Structure 1
Amino acid sequence: MDASHSRSRVRRRRLLLPLTAGLCAVALVSGCSDTNSGSPAAETTKPSSAPQAAGDLQSEYQAVIKNVLPSVVQIQASNSLGSGVVYDSKGHIVTNAHVVGHERTFKVTVATGEKVLPASLVATYPEQDLAVIKLDSVPKGLKPAKFGDSKKVEVGQIVLAMGSPLGLSSSVTQGIVSALGRTVSESRVGGGTGATIANMVQTSAAINPGNSGGALVNLNSEVIGIPTLAAVDPEMANSAAPGIGFAIPVSMVKTVADQIIKSGKVTDSGRAALNITGRTVVDTNYQPAGVAVVSVTRGGAADKAGLRVGDIITRIEDLPVTTITSLSEALASDKPGEKVTVTYLRNGAEKTAKVTLGEI
């Protein structure tokens, strides 16, 4: 199975900071070093290339932060706090759908000033956990971010995550691109969208509540993703799994944002669908065992392939389907118009159908 069909087995948490969580207490700890300043050898030894290399990397970090951080904003809704990225000079800001929730007006703080600016919702697209808001008036000096190319993102690249983790605005963490092509499903608990998102960028950069909607940036000062989810370990009382975060790839961010800004909605999702509604069914041991077809869109993908109400879908190609979520994950990396083999049960008998996928 290739990377585009890889499945993460840990549960995820949204990266949205409830304001009711209270104030953050931050402890600052100073570092120390043990030097031997009195050693003549230390004075005469030729410096190695390592400090120079470290200095060069530090300079790169500082340049990227200087270039990009002014484009990362803090977004405050009535009961939550998240981040966003300035998309263009007209005041459009891209963020996560779960940051804006069901609200239509927001308070935005830009990195270049403490003044809170009002903003309004343009449109939200929960299916991909993305949204666009717009500043009611564009302040002087507003700086749009530079967005990169998903095709040039590679495992091992150094990245910086910028946003407002735990309400600490203009914060930066660093890490690498850990993996590509992850398919991740978001919970609906606590205001999550329940979206299943394909081709996500996995990163080791620290991602915390409040980072949602911020920027994952490469050393060319380009946004390559929108931090959206962090993993939690179900075997450790759902505590955070350090160094496992996920960002929506920049290709999808640009696709969704461009359509919302142009049309006020997403007109071409690029997401495959069977064009059915369904529900999870269980077996005799009360374990999830498939997705029962509740309704079929007339003229849609499933209808044309002969699927009926009451059929129980158990597999898409070689991927097992036991729940609605696993069905979404099985389709997440496919495109409308592609053909897939759907295995299903009808009156207890296993059957297959070749389905030309439709679109969400």
Structure 2
Amino acid sequence: MNASRARSRLGAAVLLCSAALLSGCTGSGSGSGAKADATTTQAAVPAAANDLQDDYRKVIEDVLPSVVQIQAGNDLGSGVVYDGRGHVVTNAHVVGDGRTFRVTTANSEEELSARLVYSYPEQDLAVIKLDRSPDGLKAARFGDSAKVEVGQIVLAMGSPLGLSSSVTQGIVSATGRTVTESRSGGGTGATIGNMVQTSAAINPGNSGGALVNLDSEVIGIPTLAATDPGLGDSAAPGIGFAIPASMVRTIADQIIEDGRVTDSGRAALGITARTVVDAEYRAVGVDVVEVREDGAADRAGIRPDDIIVRLGDAEITTITSLTEALAAEKPGERTTVTYTRDGRERTVDVTLGEQ
């Protein structure tokens, strides 16, 4: 059963409940008739719950065999079988600096050897390849990120805290999030746009696994959980993020075909820059240190020592805020850059390049 069918059956149960309540309020029908309605309603609710539970079981049966555990040195993470040739997609921060790995599939305790094909920390994605593909290796099916909607039920599959083949459940909480990873705790420091936010539990070891819809499609790669600075940077429960399937496919296909990323899809100005602070040590902009020849900034007339304060409608105060603003854009798009030069503020049109 697909997700829409599950929702429609739950909806039917709710409508039956509403009808029974309405009937009771109006006082229509005999006592025996009201009792029959109540019995029908009570039977419908467990039936709908059982249907949804069956959906969960089918999704797990379909997808979990495609989710693997990856051991990189002393660290554990997760990965998703990408094709029948033994390619596995995961996070760059899972593979770290490693070149060889031990991989355990969901249906076997045998450790398989694998090697790195390519790691792309800028998007926190990597592809490794099994030295030997075991019989029955099953590639996951990746969905269309454009069809992901807030409220969809999703399952997160991976090896949280080393507990292989674990599954958690939640919903899509938001789409289109731009998130910057912390470098502490092994993160790459990447700023990633268009991420899927989910309430499904994402814990250490889930990284690189699968966020799956009820059509048994991988819609994202769980990558990080939010932290709460007020609680000593401990994890904020129910706020996790996954790289969307469309970006995963774009990067993985290039790595498998070309051995590297040839078209990142990430917008860039073509500058080297640093954060500027004022006399009170508040971040107030981004100072251009170097301009790449014939890059987007160069073509727009931006020079070294210019201080960028706005990109489009986004206020720019730090390198991070500039990176996040660019993550929301695409190469080739036109926007404006506002900067100060010699104390005067200027605004120019810029056609964004590629990182």
Shorter-chain TM-score range: 0.7 to 0.9
Report the TM-score, using the length of structure 2 for normalisation: 0.88
Number of paired residues?
A: 318
Q: 2:68 pairs with 67, 73, 83, which one? A: 73
- Identify the residue that residue 267 of structure 1 maps to in structure 2: 262
Letter in 2 for 1:109: T
Q: Structure 2: how far apart are the matches of 1:94 and 1:264?
A: 13
Q: Structure 1: how far apart are the matches of 2:122 and 2:348?
A: 26
- Identify the residue that residue 287 of structure 1 maps to in structure 2: 282
- Identify the residue that residue 326 of structure 2 maps to in structure 1: 331
Q: 2:291 pairs with 281, 293, 296, which one? A: 296
- Identify the residue that residue 256 of structure 1 maps to in structure 2: 251
Runs of 4+ in 1 over 3 A off after TM superposition: 44-47
Letter in 1 for 2:218: V
Q: Structure 1: how far apart are the matches of 2:185 and 2:166?
A: 24
- Identify the residue that residue 168 of structure 2 maps to in structure 1: 173
- Identify the residue that residue 210 of structure 1 maps to in structure 2: 205
Q: Structure 1: how far apart are the matches of 2:254 and 2:193?
A: 19
Q: CA deviation at 1:48?
A: 2.2
Q: CA deviation at 1:45?
A: 5.4
Letter in 1 for 2:71: Q
Q: 2:97 pairs with 99, 102, 116, which one? A: 102
- Identify the residue that residue 114 of structure 2 maps to in structure 1: 119
Q: Structure 2: how far apart are the matches of 1:312 and 1:232?
A: 31
Q: 1:48 pairs with 43, 49, 65, which one? A: 43
- Identify the residue that residue 228 of structure 2 maps to in structure 1: 233
Letter in 2 for 1:313: I
Q: CA deviation at 1:241?
A: 1.2
Q: Structure 2: how far apart are the matches of 1:208 and 1:190?
A: 12
Q: Structure 1: how far apart are the matches of 2:61 and 2:347?
A: 56
- CA deviations 1:42-99 (Å, max 9, x no partner) are xx95642111111111100000000100000000011311000000000000000000
Q: CA deviation at 1:191?
A: 2.6
- Identify the residue that residue 19 of structure 1 maps to in structure 2: none
Letter in 2 for 1:84: G
- Identify the residue that residue 32 of structure 1 maps to in structure 2: none
Q: Structure 2: how far apart are the matches of 1:313 and 1:276?
A: 11
- 2:203 matches 1:195: no
For structure 2, list consecutive stretches of 5 or more residues without a partner in the other structure: 1-34
User: Could you tell which deviates more after superposition, 200-209 or 46-55?
Assistant: 46-55
- CA deviations 1:119-172 (Å, max 9, x no partner) are 000001111100000001111110100111111111111000000001100000
SS in structure 2 opposite 1:278? strand
- 2:60 matches 1:88: no
SS in structure 2 opposite 1:48? helix
Q: Structure 2: how far apart are the matches of 1:189 and 1:171?
A: 25
- Identify the residue that residue 310 of structure 1 maps to in structure 2: 305
Q: Taking every aligned residue pair, what percent have the same amino acid on both sides?
A: 72
Q: Structure 1: how far apart are the matches of 2:160 and 2:79?
A: 12
For structure 1, list consecutive stretches of 5 or more residues without a partner in the other structure: 1-40
Q: Structure 2: how far apart are the matches of 1:189 and 1:306?
A: 37
The structure richer in helix per residue is 2
**Matching of residues 57-72 of structure 1 within 5 Å:** 57-72=52-67
Letter in 2 for 1:48: A
- Identify the residue that residue 16 of structure 1 maps to in structure 2: none
- 2:158 matches 1:163: yes
- 2:352 matches 1:357: yes
Letter in 1 for 2:165: S
SS in structure 1 opposite 2:61? helix
Q: CA deviation at 1:225?
A: 0.2
- Identify the residue that residue 344 of structure 1 maps to in structure 2: 339
Q: CA deviation at 1:190?
A: 3.1
SS in structure 2 opposite 1:352? strand
- Identify the residue that residue 146 of structure 2 maps to in structure 1: 151
RMSD: 1.3
Q: Structure 2: how far apart are the matches of 1:213 and 1:191?
A: 14
Report the TM-score, using the length of structure 1 for normalisation: 0.87
Q: Structure 1: how far apart are the matches of 2:336 and 2:146?
A: 28
Q: CA deviation at 1:335?
A: 1.0
Q: CA deviation at 1:102?
A: 1.2
- Identify the residue that residue 139 of structure 1 maps to in structure 2: 134
SS in structure 1 opposite 2:46? helix
Larger radius of gyration: 2
